[in-house]
Amino acid sequence: MPTCLITGVTGQDGAYLSRFMLEKGYRVIGMMRRSASSDVVGERLRWLGILGQVELVDGNLIDLASLIRTVQTYQPDEVYNLGAQSFVAASWNQPIVTGQVTGLGVTNLLEALRFAKPDARFYQASSSEMFGLIQAARQNETTPFYPRSPYAVAKLYGHWMTVNHRESFGMHASSGILFNHESPLRGIEFVTRKVTDGVARIKLGLARELPLGNLEARRDWGHARDYVRAMWLMLQQDLADDYVVATGRTMAIREFCRIAFAHVGLNYEDHVVTRADLIRPAEVDVLLGDADKARRVLGWQPSITLEDMIAEMVEADLARHRARLSA
């Protein structure tokens, strides 16, 4: 039985990847940092019905000793680094911790592997936010980066350290430059869940309006279930490399709202209000990915449409709120 180590295991991607790897027959070791809310940190794994199948271990990306100890103990064949301070908006208020976790944490994990399990295959969760102020209409692996937030800057550091370890030490280290990917497990602080949760609240009479920031920002949105499959495919290749993972379709937040509200028979214009304090200091106006390399080399392509994903998210949030109301 092959063993994989997943950091950020309690997040959206960590949960879906854990289920995917379990289905593939892996032993799944999930690294999680200690939290004051430790009683609820496994909710996503529980929601997927796999909490008891993932072996959770304590560790922290900014604590090299804990990483070395984990790698030495479990000797993973594959390591997926999904742990990060991943909320872009928060990175302006917490730039140092974002740099420590999202940037330097990658180096810590790579160094732990280099000394304790150098033959392990490594996946780094890079981000389309690294493209920022886009230098090409469609972004692929050769498009120059122009990060526009502390989060994106930190991700860029982690990305290049992954490349550097691959080229300097011959490590099988790949980066997935993933464009936005969502699901019912997305954190409530992200705009997509903010929208679908708001739709559910308004439909059930729990709220009347939904405050948002820039409605014209455009993103290339896919489903997290599709994107974790791409992560695994990267580590099955003979040679490590970097891949853009995207749908090739971009949509404004305004249109996302229209589809989500229409799913429950409502007009978004009657409920969505814009607030200046929700607009980022430096906005990324549009992202549109070109995943041709992933299609050619990995044989990957998305299977879930944006409309189906939005409907799934709205229905999940309706179910959550109905359950609370009936409790």
Neighbours of 283 (CB within 10 A): 15
Do residues 45 and 18 touch, judged by C-beta distance below 8 A? Answer: yes
Q: What is the pLDDT of residue 177?
A: 98
* Pairing outcome for strands 55-58 and 78-81: unpaired
Q: What is the pLDDT of residue 33?
A: 81
Taking the whole predicted model, whether its pTM rises above 0.75 is answered as: yes
Q: Is residue 202 packed enough to be buried (19+ CB in 10 Å), middle (13-18) or exposed (0-12)? A: buried
Structure tokens belonging to residue 241: 């490399």
Residue 64, SS3 per DSSP: helix
Q: What is the pLDDT of residue 36?
A: 47
**Where do the domains of the chain lie, and which CATH numbers do they carry?**
3-182+222-245 (3.40.50.720), 191-219+250-286+304-326 (3.90.25.10)
Q: What is the pLDDT of residue 37?
A: 53
Asked whether residue 6 carries a pLDDT value surpassing 60, the answer given is yes
Residue 22, SS3 per DSSP: helix
As a whole number, mean pLDDT of residues 6-33 equals 96
Of 46-60, 103-117, 272-286, 307-321, minimum mean pLDDT range? 272-286
The Cα angle at residue 146 between residues 17 and 241, in degrees rounded to 5: 45
The Cα angle at residue 220 between residues 214 and 225, in degrees rounded to 5: 120
The Cα angle at residue 16 between residues 12 and 19, in degrees rounded to 5: 145
| 138-159 pLDDT, tens digit each | 999 999 999 999 999 999 999 9
Asked whether residue 40 carries a pLDDT value surpassing 70, the answer given is no
Sheet with strand 172-178: strands edge to edge:
55-58, 27-32, 3-7, 78-81, 121-127, 172-178, 242-245
Q: What is the pLDDT of residue 31?
A: 95
Catalytic residues: 127, 129, 151
As a whole number, mean pLDDT of residues 240-261 equals 97
Do residues 177 and 130 touch, judged by C-beta distance below 8 A? Answer: yes
- Cα–Cα distance list, 185 to 16, 41, 113, 234 (Å): 9, 12, 29, 23
Of 37-51, 200-214, 282-296, 312-326, minimum mean pLDDT range? 37-51
**Using CA atoms, how far apart are residues 225 and 126, in angstroms rounded to an integer?**
17
* Pairing outcome for strands 181-182 and 210-212: unpaired
Q: Which amino acid is at 12?
A: Q
Q: What is the pLDDT of residue 241?
A: 98
Closest among 25, 79, 33 to 56, alpha carbons compared: 33
Of 208-217, 239-248, 255-264, 275-284, minimum mean pLDDT range? 275-284
Do residues 231 and 285 touch, judged by C-beta distance below 8 A? Answer: no
- Please give the mean pLDDT across all residues of the chain: 94
Q: Which amino acid is at 263?
A: H
**Using CA atoms, how far apart are residues 316 and 116, in angstroms rounded to an integer?**
42
pLDDT band for 38, please (50, 70, 90 cuts). Answer: low
Asked whether residue 306 carries a pLDDT value surpassing 50, the answer given is yes
Asked whether residue 181 carries a pLDDT value surpassing 70, the answer given is yes
Q: What is the pLDDT of residue 39?
A: 60
Q: Which runs of E-coded beta strand occur in 128-165?
A: none
